[in-house]
Amino acid sequence: MIAVIDYGMANLRSVERALRAAGGAPCITSDPDVVAEAEKVVLPGVGAFCAAMHNLHQSGLENAVKGAILSGKPFLGICLGLQMLFETSSEMGDAKGLGIFEGRIERFFEHEPAPPGIKVPHIGWNALHQTRASRLFRGIPQETQVYFVHSYFPVPANSGLTTGAASHGQTFCCAVEKDNVAATQFHPEKSGAAGIAILRNFVEWSI
């Protein structure tokens, strides 16, 4: 069973449908005990970083997420679910994240003006450039098109954490992986056949 964490800020049904299409058995849950019992865990998310962290903490799911990661079971973060894995986000000041990975979340063109014609948020299809081998991207062709909806992206303290990059007026990290944890800034559940193939790699991921 794959626990899809419901903390009140995610497109849960589309994630659930995509995981089923990939051969998984997802269960949407807000119960920390179900998360603890699951074979794999997915942390999806859309919206504001601060509100998401508040909901995760208030619901008791923050410790469940950390426990799932520490247990070694396969764990997938999607979009805001990726961002919360880092230490801080510049959204609405320096907001504190889960601190699973060292680094911070920054807004596009936070330190300089955006190039002409580049809009924020970044919405639409973009090429995924794989920067190193990844279990999540096994069999996925280089420069595959995937779907993004975001204004912020991760800046890992250790560049070796990055498995994928994309470009939107600037090159940015869009995927990370370490041990049992993988995460994408793009939405696999909205990325067509390529997204299903990525999720299938997660479904088939064994400890």
Conformation bin of residue 5: beta by default, left when phi > 0, alpha when psi is -120 to 50: beta
Strands (E), the chain: 2-5, 26-29, 40-43, 75-78, 86-89, 95-96, 101-107, 122-130, 144-150, 152-156, 162-167, 171-178, 181-184
Q: Is 136 within 8 Å of 82 (Cβ atoms)?
A: no
Amino acid present at 52: A
Q: Give the residue from 64, 63, 62, 46 showing the smallest Cα distance to 8.
A: 46
Q: How far apart are CA 46 and CA 57, in angstroms?
A: 16
Would you please indicate which residues are annotated as catalytic (active-site) residues? 79, 187, 189
